Chain A
Amino acid sequence: MERGGIIKNDISKSPKTGDWAYSKPEVDKDKCIGCETCVQYCPDACIEMQTHNSQLTTDNKKQKKVADIDYDFCKGCGVCAQVCPVKAISMRK
């Protein structure tokens, strides 16, 4: 705590809410179309787009952006799996 009763945000001291999860989302990187729908709806903002080298893309694009999940803060609610238009995210125990 600082002078004047001000508390500052410090992510290193933050509780790791990933402990809450009873199931974890898993991204199928070949299925993911990089639409970022899950990013917008994630309550904990723990999905980021990451470059992924794919062998399976049909349109000769070898690199694409796919969803990457931060399990330190993911509470395992399953919203991302529910909103995914191509069902590329599945919840695993």
Chain B
Amino acid sequence: MNKELTKKLSSGHATCQGCGIPAIVRHVLGATDEPVIVANATGCLEVTTTIYPYTAWKVPYVHSVFGNAAATASGIDAAQKALMKSGKIKKKAKVVVFGGDGGTYDIGLQALSGALERGHDFLYVCYDNEGYMNTGGQRSGGTPYGANTETAPAGETSFGKAQQRKDLMEIVNAHHIKYLAQSNVAYVNDLKMKAKKALETPGPSFLLVLQPCTQLWKFPTSEYVAVGKLATETNFWPLYEIEDGKYKINNVQKNPKPIEEFLKVQGRFKHLFADKNKDVIVDIQNKVDDNLSKLVKRAEKS
């Protein structure tokens, strides 16, 4: 067991073989030496690290219900303020929230929006595995167009999820917070740099981190880093940050790979390679190009 990396989250948790979520947690929490308090939405991370009567957490950890991780963080922040005022504590601990895409894009969105608007001092980290993976892979607002999921199955008449994924970064950006960034667990240095910046930002900050799910994106357990890298190399998941409203793309792809490279390594997109679904891949490629050109324009403007 690595002593340095397990200071805040120990080994022995029950995430699936080859799951990148613990790596995200360790690198985000490792970016600060100050004490932290973790709030967690229901999801893969919560059910695997806190199997009763054990816990893998070595820092104070609160889980209440699915949709209110951000509201829990608001409460912790408010309590710390009150304790500071009455002189019971001298310094505030950092508050970090971890939520999956289900607990952030869909169920926890109003709690997140409220906490961002009230300006509480916390960092919200959304690990985006693009579906409700803990309960068997149902579609979420973060599931990409064309993916085969349990509740949007591909078959004779359907090609999988027929809707585009939500642009969560823009939703969060609409709250005018000081720092938010999109990162990817396969780019550890990028993730560490962004976590450090976000934790040093006073007030709310937000990180959206891609987390390839080996079980329900359907690829071998050894491949989460390779699949994550392909997502960025095909511009499906560009790495960028928004600081005081200014966009900055961190990883500009000079020769982006075609989106097929990213789709073909995953079982959830297997059906798209049948002849009748060829136009869906063209749609996905067009959407990726469109999103990137919008992002590039915003980065040029600021």
Give me the interface of A with B, judged by CB distance under 8 Å. 1, 7-11, 13-17, 20, 39-48, 70, 72-73, 75-79, 81-83, 91
Contacts and interface: CB of A to CB of B under 8 A. Distances in A.
B2 A39 contact: yes
Contact of A46 (B2, B14, B23, B222): B2
Contacts of B119: none
B118 to A, nearest CB: 28
A79 B224 contact: yes
A45 B12 contact: no
Given A1-B53, A9-B58, A11-B11, A79 B18 contact: yes
A16 B188 CA distance: 27
Contacts of A78: 18, 220-222
B22 interface: yes
A45 B11 contact: yes
B2 A20 contact: no
B1 A9 contact: no
Contacts of B58: 9
A41 B225 contact: yes
Contact of A40 (B1, B23, B220): B23
Contact of A83 (B53, B56, B57, B225): B225
The main secondary structure of chain A at its interface with chain B is loop
The main secondary structure of chain B at its interface with chain A is loop
B196 interface: no
Contacts, number: 105
Interface in B200-244: 214, 220-226
B179 to A, nearest CB: 23
A11 B12 contact: yes
Contact of B19 (A43, A45, A70): A43
A76 B241 CA distance: 35
Nearest to B57: A9
B102 to A, nearest CB: 20
A2 B43 CA distance: 25
Given A9-B56, A15-B14, A72-B1, A77 B27 contact: no
Given A14-B12, A14-B54, A45 B17 contact: no
Given A11-B10, A13-B54, A82-B222, 11 more contacts: A11-B1, A11-B11, A20-B17, A39-B5, A40-B27, A44-B11, A45-B9, A45-B22, A47-B2, A70-B1, A79-B221
Nearest to B221: A77
A83 B221 CA distance: 12
5 contacts: A14-B56, A78-B18, A78-B221, A79-B223, A91-B222
B11 A15 contact: no
Contacts of A40: 23, 27, 188
B24 to A, nearest CB: 10
B294 interface: no
B3 interface: yes
Interface string B45-59: 000001111111110
A40 B222 CA distance: 14
A46 B12 CA distance: 10
B20 A43 contact: yes
Contacts of A81: 222
A7 B19 contact: no
A41 B27 CA distance: 10
B26 interface: yes
Most B-side CB within 10 Å, residue of A9, A48, A83, A91: A9
A81 B222 CA distance: 8
Contacts of B163: none
A79 B222 contact: yes
